[in-house]
Amino acid sequence: MNTKTIIGLVIALLLAIIAFNPGILPLSAETVETMKELKDMHFLINGSGKVTFAHIFMLIGAVAFLWFLFTVIKTILEKTAKDSHSKTIAILLTGLLRYLAVIIGFIWGLSILGVDTTAVLAGAGIIGLIIGFGAQSLIEDIITGLFIIFERQYEVGDIIILDDFRGVVRSIGVRTTVIEDVGKNLKIVNNSDIRNFQNRSRNDSYAVCLVGVSYSTNIPAMERIIADAMPKIYAANEDLFLDVPEYLGIEDLADSSMVLKFQVLTKEENVFRSRRRLNRELKLLFDATGIEIPFPQVVVHKAVN
């Protein structure tokens, strides 16, 4: 908070105190009475209109009670949430309760201070109607968020791909979803803008590796070596691999090599680690058995005059 803001808050507070208690100024009785009438009319104050220490203490007590009640309910929701779906619902309900607590606290506080809350609510209804016409996107975000939760399209902890952003869902709020990628970067998206995404956590995934070998390679001998090695590679990497890696055959006849395709079943969160691990194991295997992984070669023909 900068200095200008602080000064503005102090001035606003002083003006509010004077407006509620005009008798503190050295004004004529007629002026003070007129200010009191205006205060009762425009600030909707009932009764004496005086804010005493009792009002302040009661206001603090009401805020403390709401905070206590909100904290207890939030704790119960967090403790009873066991799986990802219940945790997602708990986060959504906590967000709704936070908004509800603020609204109730505001109205309750005004009532404690002697404000005619009936008139406030009536005015708020009219204002809400006006705002509603201009807040269609907000309503759409909230409704879409509810559908996401109850249709279980994705949940907190799921890995999703949205456009070109791949990350873990960290929270689903009333309005927005927060996604975190492997670099700890956060993408905050309005719920209504989440379309055509992929949920990668519903099933296990395949890490795919493409490796080039020389055209001079004896293919049947190479395939026997690979078949013998795959179970050993799986046994050495059971912390990442969920099954024995598969050799799928020759994927492409490229310019400088025959491209072999391999895949291994793994958890989605480990798909990149598994790919790197399988690449390493294949390189070690090919080096140990004399299978050449060629680099790009260029053949130059020199014309003879």
CATH topology of domain 146-199: SH3 type barrels. (2.30.30)
C-alpha–C-alpha distance, residues 148 and 151, integer Å = 5
C-alpha–C-alpha distance, residues 271 and 294, integer Å = 26
- Six-digit token string for 271: 């798909």
Helices (H), the chain: 3-20, 29-42, 53-80, 84-112, 117-134, 136-150, 219-236, 271-289
- Six-digit token string for 203: 């099933």
C-alpha–C-alpha distance, residues 193 and 195, integer Å = 6
- Six-digit token string for 238: 């059971």
- Beta-bridge partners for 246: 263
Q: In what order do the strands lie in the sheet with 246-253?
A: 205-213, 258-266, 246-253
Which amino acid does the sequence have at 206?
Y
Radius of gyration of the chain (CA): 34
For the chain, report the end-to-end CA distance as a whole number of angstroms: 82
Enter the pTM of the model: 0.54
- Residue-level pLDDT, tens digit, the chain, 305 residues: 567 666 766 676 666 666 666 666 676 777 667 666 655 554 544 545 555 556 676 777 777 878 888 888 888 877 877 776 677 777 777 777 877 888 787 777 777 666 666 665 665 555 565 455 555 676 777 777 777 777 778 888 888 888 888 889 888 877 788 999 888 889 988 888 888 888 888 788 899 999 999 999 999 999 999 999 999 999 999 999 999 999 999 999 988 899 999 999 999 889 999 999 999 999 999 999 999 988 766 666 666 65
pLDDT of residue 42: 47
Torsion of CA 224, 228, 229, 235, to 10 degrees: 160
- Six-digit token string for 121: 């609510």
C-alpha–C-alpha distance, residues 68 and 84, integer Å = 26
Buried b (16+ CB within 10 A) or exposed e, 169-197: bebbbbbbbbbeeeeeeebebebbebeeb
Per-residue H/E/C for 134-195: HCHHHHHHHHHHHHHHHCCCCCCCCEEEECCEEEEEEEECCCEEEEECCCCCEEEEEHHHCC
In 3D, which of 189, 168, 188 has the Cα closest to residue 180?
Answer: 168
The domains of the chain are located at 3-140, 146-199, 205-289
Report the CATH number of the 205-289 domain. Answer: 3.30.70.100
pLDDT of residue 218: 93
- Beta-bridge partners for 177: 172, 189
pLDDT of residue 281: 94
pLDDT of residue 44: 47
pLDDT of residue 222: 94
C-alpha–C-alpha distance, residues 98 and 296, integer Å = 61
pLDDT of residue 123: 57
205-289 shares the fold of 146-199: no
pLDDT of residue 199: 86
